[in-house]
């Protein structure tokens, strides 16, 4: 074995160690996120927020006004009165919840610990992907194992980028870390492929372009799907709070859902994510067609993966169109978004593992 081959083998080993290490830190982050939710539900602020949300359709919402006062030539703002606004009966204009920590000091502490651990796990995870790249001397997404590890890394990086830009998305931390752990666990236990395996058709610079776009699109669609699922739960919760027959959600459901953003906020976040990333998914399909012409001599042949990529595109196109149609907003449009993401997941797992085609590169 020459020096280069030995170095590549060492980097493959380091990559595996880093991925397992990232899983361990993600597990600690999961525990911290869970503690944030549990301790937040016991806080005084959490109970107060629950009471305010519970009575938001009947109780007035206070709003302080400011007045100006002259003092030694300086204008000073001070509180003078509190004005209350009475929402219309049956109003669904709910405020965003207080978050997982719900104002609890212990909950907030564990939330910060969870975020710090998530950042650390992401850095280790990134190191594992980079080491894999070094070991194979190509793009680290030529098989299902590599795609899965990179996919989850991109999803976490998008979450951290939202936080860095000041977006209030801490609520997505627990479900994100949970599913990242499941994704990595499946990758290392079922989908693992040795670093030297590569289908000949993948020897192309289009591997960097086409598959990287697919990974980024899928990761963003995934965040949109998480927000959509939470929207459906929160929307049902708000419906029960305004139910004329007095039906109320259970204590456990209320403890969690009362701290999430309002249904309108979750729906808006999911829509914006899906709308922004949809053009990239369109480009992904176009880039795949160009690569197919270079590799197989035709742009489109209705290969199973090509077909399901197009079905996914149609599903998300229907969702975006539904959002612009008054009669299909809300839950109906949300179901279309989840159908689109389900098509993406089937295109990845189902087509790769159970359907033979030109794109069969699973290695499992």
CB 322 within 8 A of CB 340: no
CB 304 within 8 A of CB 357: yes
* Least reliable range by pLDDT among 258-267, 292-301, 303-312: 292-301
> What pLDDT does residue 63 have?
38
φ, ψ (nearest 5 deg) of residue 83: -105, 135
Tens-digit pLDDT profile for residues 141-181: 888 999 999 999 999 999 999 999 999 899 999 999 999 99
pLDDT at 303 over 80: yes
The Cα 235–Cα 96 span in angstroms is: 12
Q: Report CA dihedral (295, 297, 299, 304) to the nearest 10 degrees.
A: -70
CA–CA gap between residue 321 and residue 328 (Å, rounded): 9
Lowest mean pLDDT segment, chosen from 2-6, 255-259, 277-281, 338-342: 2-6
Q: Give residue 57's pLDDT band: very low, low, confident or very high (50, 70, 90).
A: very low
Question: Phi-psi region for residue 302, left (φ > 0), alpha (ψ -120 to 50) or beta?
Answer: left
Tell which wins on pLDDT, 64 or 282.
282
Which tokens go with 46?
Answer: 């959490």
What are 112-126's pLDDT values in tens digits?
Answer: 999 999 999 999 999
pLDDT at residue 64 greater than cutoff 60: no
* Residues 150 and 164: beta-carbon distance below 8 Å: no
- Token pair 């937040």 is at which residue? 40
- Average pLDDT on 259-268 reads 93
Please check the confidence at residue 36 and state whether its pLDDT lies above 80.
yes
The pLDDT of residue 53 is above 60: no
d(CA 244, CA 74): 52
Q: Is the pTM of this model over 0.75?
A: yes
- Specify the DSSP class assigned to residue 94: P
Question: Do 179 and 21 form a contact (C-beta atoms < 8 A)?
Answer: no
Q: Which of 263-272, 273-282, 286-295 has the lowest mean pLDDT?
A: 286-295
What pLDDT sits at residue 254? 82
Tokens of 112: 């910060």
pLDDT exceeds 70 at position 89: no
Angle at 104 between CA 99 and CA 109, to 5 degrees: 90
Tell which phi-psi region holds residue 199, choosing left (phi > 0), alpha (psi between -120 and 50) or beta: beta
Count the helices and strands in the chain (H runs, E runs): 12, 2
Report the C-alpha gap between 35 and 45 in whole angstroms. 16
CA separation for the pair 65, 175 (Å, rounded): 39
Please determine, for residue 87, whether its predicted confidence score (pLDDT) is greater than 70: no
Instruction: Report pLDDT for 33.
Output: 95
Count the helix, strand and coil residues of the chain and give each as a percent rounded to the nearest 5.
70, 5, 25
Average pLDDT over residues 220-249: 88
Average pLDDT of the chain, as a whole number: 83
| 8 A C-beta contact, residue 255 and residue 100 | no
- Asked if 152 and 180 touch (Cβ cutoff 8 Å), the reply is yes
Helix (H) or strand (E) holding 226: helix 212-241
């Amino acid at each position: 074995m020459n020096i280069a081959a030995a170095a590549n083998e060492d980097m493959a080993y380091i990559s595996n160690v880093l991925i397992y290490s990232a899983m361990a830190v993600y597990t600690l982050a999961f525990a911290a996120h869970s503690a944030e939710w549990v301790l937040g539900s016991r806080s005084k602020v959490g109970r107060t927020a629950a009471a305010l949300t519970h009575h938001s359709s009947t109780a007035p919402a206070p709003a302080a006004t400011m007045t100006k006062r002259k003092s030694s030539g300086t204008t000073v703002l001070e509180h003078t009165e509190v004005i209350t606004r009475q929402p219309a009966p049956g109003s669904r204009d709910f405020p965003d919840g207080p978050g997982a920590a719900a104002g609890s000091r212990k909950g907030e502490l564990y939330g910060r610990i969870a975020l710090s651990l998530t950042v650390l796990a992401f850095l280790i995870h990134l190191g594992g992907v980079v080491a894999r790249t070094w070991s194979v001397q190509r793009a680290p997404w030529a098989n299902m194992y590599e795609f899965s590890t990179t996919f989850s890394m991109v999803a976490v990086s998008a979450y951290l980028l939202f936080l860095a830009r000041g977006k209030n998305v801490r609520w997505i931390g627990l479900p994100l870390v949970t599913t990242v752990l499941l994704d990595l666990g499946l990758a290392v236990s079922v989908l693992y492929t040795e670093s030297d395996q590569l289908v000949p058709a993948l020897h192309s610079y289009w591997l960097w372009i086409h598959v990287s776009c697919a990974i980024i699109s899928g990761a963003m669609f995934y965040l949109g799907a998480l927000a959509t699922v939470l929207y459906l739960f929160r929307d049902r919760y708000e419906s029960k709070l305004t139910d004329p027959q007095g039906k109320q959600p259970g204590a456990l459901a209320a403890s969690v859902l009362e701290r999430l953003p309002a249904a309108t906020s979750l729906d808006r976040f999911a829509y914006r994510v899906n709308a922004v990333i949809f053009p990239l998914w369109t480009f992904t399909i176009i880039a795949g067609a160009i690569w197919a012409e270079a590799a197989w001599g035709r742009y489109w042949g209705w290969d199973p993966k090509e077909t399901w990529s197009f079905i996914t595109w149609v599903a998300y196109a229907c969702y975006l169109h539904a959002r612009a149609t008054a009669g299909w907003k809300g839950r109906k449009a949300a179901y279309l978004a989840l159908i689109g993401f389900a098509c993406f997941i089937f295109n990845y797992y189902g087509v790769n593992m159970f359907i033979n085609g030109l794109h069969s590169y699973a290695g499992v």
